[in-house]
Structure 1
């Protein structure tokens, strides 16, 4: 038993030296790391960048298009021209004409400029849609960041809770060690039996096992946090265990403005605006389109000499300007159908907005009730720790005086241990409930943690 006891002491001495060398990861440090490294946030930022590219003037249709073309052709002919039945003036047959390596070249180049002066305002409202989609993508990225923040602090507070529980267990283990030493001394002087030593050894073993289990849970929780932070899984650190709650008056102010700041409601407003512009985009099909086209061309033809004509070089420059007006007076009703469907989509978005508003209101009321309940539980658990601490101190005095048994003393110790761990759980549960309430009010990213 003494060998096992020695191994336990060596093990916890090792852990103490390891944890004393850990870096301190503050809440602000964790937020900075997750904003820079988290996979989901990186993807969300890229989506915003895509939407930003889409809303630029280069994707608006307002700029003209310019196209160029060029071509070159080369021909070489070897030909023989015969004149059957033809005679020269002297009566001799007319000789054949041989044309060898008769070369001809042709070069063409042109520029074409096209610009739509008016397209029924479809381009104008499409551009507005792209602007709204960019803002929508920012809201979606914000939602991703908020959800990631909740995930971050859920694990961060898990690490903090397990750290505090480990400290509580460490104190319990130290108390059991002291009790074991006192039991040994008392046995040597004949003041108690071997049973008291055995009971103390059993309690040391149980506390050591609980400590080992807690250490493993803490290591696993830190790995979970490293995944969210996208850093080495085996990086070790200590976290901040101090929790501060937002004043009630400030929270009430947030709740009063929740509808204006809730990210789900803001996204619904953006979608409604996009649907409104979609109706106007489709209505542009009723109006005419006016466009301009400008062309410039350069041509060079070099022809070889023939039997009857000498070779020629022909250079041509041409400039053209064309205006066109197109009005689709009747397209079989397809524009009308698109407008009707766009209006229905708008109505559906209105209905969805009402539904989301009701759900958000419900979620806020539920979250506030849960938060108030958990705050009350935390305050009760704080008082319970004070009560159990006083009970434990009195029990320790009575135990040292020999007025209560080791079993009664152990029960007081267990009660204090349970009260402390329950208080830790209540504290972080209440803080997480507060963060969830802040997310619903749209203030999660505006709060000091």
Structure 2
């Protein structure tokens, strides 16, 4: 009878909760990820950095294309002139005007620089790949944050349901205590204890609701939308229990963005050494141009002249001695390559260690899910038996309260075990670079 009443009230409470939340947005994990990819500021900044590096990958930026320059120079003068010729004749002119005009187009093209330009182009491409890896890292990190915050809300939502059910039970207990007191079968102390426990449960629910609301704000912040946006999450935590460490390790070696970035940095250092070595070779340039020149003078043997035409040629230069700067630069570049290789090895070691520890935590959490699920079922069965005994007055209120708290705590621990296992799964997939976008 009492079980039926409690079940009925719990059902009413659940239906009320569902009806209340129907008006709110149901935010799925996929929708949350999509919103984060569209709105998150860090992802937008990383995308713009990638766009910058894509724009830089051009043959012109690598120095492969010629440079054409148009010039124009116009000079004018007003002077008081005096000229003495060889025969002694003196010519003078005040406010004499003169002007010269030069304009044309010039072309300069480096046709050989020790293959430095080719190494530069390859380096620009590697820098683009580095930005792509950094964007991938930013995206994976943010998607991991979305997953963690989302499933945190799921487990808190589940805990709220468990706490709401215990409010129903505590209310029922208070009603029974009042009825028994009214007919003289219980003391006032039993009623007061029931009231205190009910108030305690209400405080716990309020604290849980506060935490739930704050976590909503955090998720809205990650999604870069209004912090006051109201929504509910799908009430399910499904843990992938089929992850295998060898497969995760193989994926991480290929896809982990941090390891990928270190490998690209090593390649960038190698191409930098190529560019430095290129200065040991001669540099050959060709040049050409078409120019027009015109000048006028109020005094002199030539009062007006003009010229136009094509000019062309080439130049070559080679460093013969620069105070051993070349050798020093090459040594430094080689050391940087060594450092880059050590960074790759270090990142690889760190990655394997994190995978191993995270996988062990993952296995432990899977076992905890099974254990806490059994505990929740046992606690539920124990509560039902305790409710029956409490109804007929064969157990004390302390025993009833203990059974009630054991049930709530078991439900909370089961929900938390699922959440922790999901966090372990997310961490492993994040390290492997396989976290779904």
Residue 257 of structure 2, aligned match among 258, 263, 285: 263
Q: Distance in 2 between matches of 1:57 and 1:240?
A: 51
Distance (whole Å) between structure 1 residues aligned to residue 91 and residue 54 of structure 2: 71
Q: CA deviation at 1:391?
A: 0.8
Shift of 1:245: 2.2
- Quick one: distance in 2 between partners of 1:375 and 1:399? 36
Deviation at 1:314, TM superposition (A): 2.6
Q: 1:178-226 CA distances to partner (integer Å, 9 max, x unpaired)?
A: 2223333344444434333322221221111111111111111111112
Q: Deviations over 1:270-309 (max 9, x none)?
A: 12212222222111111111111112211222333x5x87
* 1:330 shift after superposition: 2.9
Q: Which residue of 2 aligns with 1:359?
A: 350
Q: Determine the structure 1 residue equivalent to 2:4.
A: none
Say if 2:70 is the partner of 1:71: no
**Separation of aligned partners in 2, 1:98 and 1:252:** 98
2:40 pairs with 1:38 = yes
In the other structure, the counterpart of 1:123 is 117
Q: After superposition, what is the alpha-carbon deviation per residue over 1:153-181, rounded to whole angstroms, capped at 9, x for unaligned?
A: 22222222221111111111111122223
Q: Report how far residue 407 of structure 1 moved.
A: 2.3
Question: Is 1:438 the counterpart of 2:420 in the alignment?
Answer: no
Please name the residue that 1:198 is paired with.
192
Distance 2:250 2:126 in 1: 26
In 1, the alpha carbon distance for the partners of 2:241 and 2:28 equals 22
138, 147, 165: which is aligned to 2:132? 138
Which among 312, 321, 326 is matched to residue 317 of structure 2? 326
Counterpart of 1:420 in structure 2 is 411
**Per-residue deviation, 1:121:** 0.6
1:26 pairs with 28, 35, 39, which one? 28
Tell me: CA distance 1:212–1:16, structure 2 relative to 1, closer, same or farther (3 Å): farther
Alignment size in residue pairs: 421
Instruction: Provide the rounded CA distance (Å) in 1 between the counterparts of 2:287 and 2:82.
Output: 47
The correspondence for 1:397, drawn from 383, 388, 399, is 388
Deviation for aligned residue 1:103: 4.1
RMSD: 2.9
What is the CA distance between 1:318 and its match in structure 2?
Answer: 2.5
> How much has 1:376 moved relative to structure 2?
0.8
Extract unaligned runs of 5+ from structure 1.
1-11, 87-93
Equivalent residue for 1:6?
Answer: none
The separation in 1 between residues aligned to 2:163 and 2:288, in whole angstroms, is 84
- The aligned residue for residue 59 of structure 1 is 61
> Highest relative contact order (Cα 8 Å, sep 6+), 1 or 2?
2
- Partner Cα separation in structure 1 for residue 244 and residue 420 of structure 2: 20
Deviation of 1:101 after TM superposition, in Å, equals 6.6
Change in CA separation of 1:347 and 1:171 when aligned onto 2, cut-off 3 Å: same
Deviation at 1:152, TM superposition (A): 2.3
CA distance in 2, matches of 1:119, 1:419: 74
CA distance in 1, matches of 2:286, 2:252: 51
Match of 1:380 in 2: 371
Structure 1 residues 369 and 98: CA distance shift in structure 2, 3 A: closer
In structure 1, C-alpha distance between the alignment counterparts of 2:351 and 2:130, rounded to whole Å: 18
- Post-superposition offset of 1:13: 13
Distance 2:151 2:232 in 1: 12
In the alignment, which of 282, 291, 300 is matched to residue 288 of structure 1? 282
Larger Rg: 1
TM-score by length of 1: 0.86
Structure 2: runs of 5 or more not aligned: 1-13
Closer/same/farther in 2, CA of residues 97 and 146 from structure 1, 3 Å limit: closer
C-alpha separation between the residues in 2 aligned to 1:391 and 1:110?
A: 98
